[in-house]
Structure 1
Amino acid sequence: MRKLFWILVAVVIAVAVWLPTQLHQVTSSEQLSKTTAGQALLNVPVVTQVPDFSGYADVRDKKKAFFAFLAPLVQAENAQIELDRERILALQQKSQWSAKEQAWLLKIADDYGIDGDIEQANELFELLLRRVDLVPETLVLVQAANESGWGASRFAQDALNLFGQWCFTKGCGLVPDARADEARHEVRKFASVNASVRSYLRNINTHPAYFDLRSLRAERRAQGRDVRALDLTPGLLSYSERGEEYIAELNAMIRVNRPIIMDVLASGNAAVNDDAAPQNTDTVSSPSAPE
């Protein structure tokens, strides 16, 4: 009996040692798989020319070609944002950070227009999680189509600017034909379409004009709900001087073109097969928090 007892004790100890090791290996494998998938999306070429889509006789074919051209670039930029967000969430769970981790947090805070302070960590993470977040692919693609005339505008073709982004230094871009005499803005010129997409996403995630969009997104995150394109368009009221008319136009374009975008993403084996930003059940900043 005593021998049997000690055998059972040995078995329990062995299991106690082995099981956590296996669980750790599974968790590490899952994390590696997720990270690898994210890194794979980042491997897209630098695109320095917007194709001429005017040769398509069928409107649906033209739309599919435009979305297929731009979608991988949008997904790549969103993938980088997601990797940064995951790292922020992981660091939020820690009570102390290495010098390297602190430097990274302050660097990404600066990139996103936040005056970071490690001594005020709770506020810093709150602001970072509000800003370092995805924009649904459908919203990005539809805005690009709207602002660039499906890639046909002068600004898209000559400046690789698909989102009508402005700059204010003489020579930084192209002068709009209809610009008022007293105006000084230009339509920014980009070195690549990738850079245009990256700048647009950073603009949405940092500019005070889109605080409402970020609040809507954070609210849905906090509720554990999907973040969809139509949920965020009210936050783009300041994007165009047309205001509500512009939002109504975007909403109509999203509803009409969403099935086409889903077909394009599915046929391209895209990692995101819905217009929703992946649901995140982690607690994120309250929409009423200061930004």
Structure 2
Amino acid sequence: MRKKLFIIFFILVCIAALLLPFFSKYEKPTSDKDIVSHGLPPVPTLKPRTEIPNFDEFNDVREKKREFFRYLLPIIEAENLRILHERQQLFAIENAYSRGFENEQDKSQLARLVDYYEVDPTLDNEQQFEILKRRVDIIPTMMVLVQAANESAWGTSRFAQEGLNLFGQWCYREGCGLVPSQRPEGMNHEVAKFDHVAQSVRSYMRNINTHEPYLELRQIREVMRDREEQVRAIPLLSGLHSYSERGQDYIDELKAMIRVNRPIVEAIMEQENSATPEAAVSSN
């Protein structure tokens, strides 16, 4: 009797083993390939632009603006697309951690994001993810364009032409940039000098996404994300009070520039069909 029961039990175990794969859900580990396959195109490799054209050569103001925007758009969109890939990677890592799947590759990628976006590495993972989700995000195309135009006098300023610095960014190491001709006595800052224009754009975006004075801007953007709204330029401008000594006047001027120049930018995007999925809808 016992022998028969054992045989029956053995048969049932074998049948269960054969059927198990059909009822079990396989959890595939996250890889780089999985992270970048969420409907986003690959980040384009652009030829480094080491010179800024002389936009003063254009006598027609509208043509001058159009050429300035056309020059910068591919660089801005490529950088925003790169950030979107990082953002998806961040969510993939957080999801893996929440399910208890931690691997060395994810740990390395998380450490890289923590370092680049200047998050305190001593915080626990949950706190790091909370801060990173606020920081690893796009800057609306229209906001970047009008700030570049405003800060660089449409690409014609000395700092733009000689240092490829379109956003008036400072540095504090001797020889790191160009010394302002009217630098106050006792000040040691220089206007940063870049090797190519994309480097200037990336530095500006990192500045906005990490520095404490722009926390309000990031919080506004976070609320938009929570509400599943488009990340729009004009609401974010309210978080730029610290960008210029002019404060609210500076913000009002940028808003006016967006209202005036948005049709030009949208026409270029439509004509060239160059906008990335989210950078395009975030140009308002």
Q: Aligning the two structures, in what range does the TM-score lie when normalised by the shorter sequence?
A: 0.7 to 0.9
Of the three residues 101, 106, 113, the one matched with 2:111 is 106
Pairing of 1:249-268 with structure 2 (within 5 A): 249-268=253-272
Off by >4 Å, runs of 4+ in structure 1: none
Deviations 1:200-225 (A, max 9, x none): 00000001110010010001111111
Matched, 1:128 2:132: yes
| Distance in 1 of aligned mates of 2:137 and 2:109 | 17
Q: Which of 222, 230, 254 is the matching residue for 1:218?
A: 222
Deviation at 1:44, TM superposition (A): 1.2
Equivalent residue number for residue 89 of structure 1: 91
Task: Please give the TM-score of this superposition, normalised by the length of structure 2.
Answer: 0.83
| Unmatched segments (≥5 aa) in structure 2 | 1-21, 26-32
- Confirm or deny that 1:60 pairs with 2:47: no
Q: Which stretches in structure 1 are left out of the alignment for 5+ residues?
A: 1-16, 21-27, 279-291
* Residues 169-197 of structure 1: CA deviation (Å, up to 9, x unaligned): 11111111121111111100001101000
Instruction: Please list the CA deviations of residues 2-56 of structure 1 after superposition, one character each: whole Å capped at 9, or x if unmatched.
Output: xxxxxxxxxxxxxxx7xx9xxxxxxx99x74724x1x1x4321111000001111
Task: Note if 1:235 corresponds to 2:234.
Answer: no
Gap change, CA 1:33 and 1:212, over 3 Å in 2 = closer
Quick one: percent identity of the two aligned structures?
A: 44
> How many residues are treated as equivalent by the alignment?
251
Indicate yes or no: 2:137 matched with 1:144: no
Whether contact under 8 Å (1:155, 1:162) holds in the other structure is yes
Question: Structure 1: which amino acid aligns with 2:240?
Answer: L
Instruction: Tell me if structure 1 keeps the 8 A contact 2:160–2:166.
Output: yes
Question: Are 2:53 and 1:47 equivalent residues in the alignment?
Answer: no
Query: What's the secondary structure of 1:54's corresponding residue?
Result: helix
Max Rg structure? 2
Range 249-258 or range 95-104, more displaced: 95-104
Inter-partner Cα distance in structure 2 for 1:42 and 1:86:
17
SS in 2 for 1:187: strand
Counterpart position of 1:269: 273
Alpha-carbon RMSD:
2.3
Stretch deviating more after TM superposition (121-130 or 201-210): 121-130
CA contact (8 A) 2:81 2:276 kept: no
Equivalent position of 2:196 in the other structure = 192
User: Which amino acid in the other structure matches residue 233 of structure 2?
Assistant: A
SS at 2:137 equivalent = coil
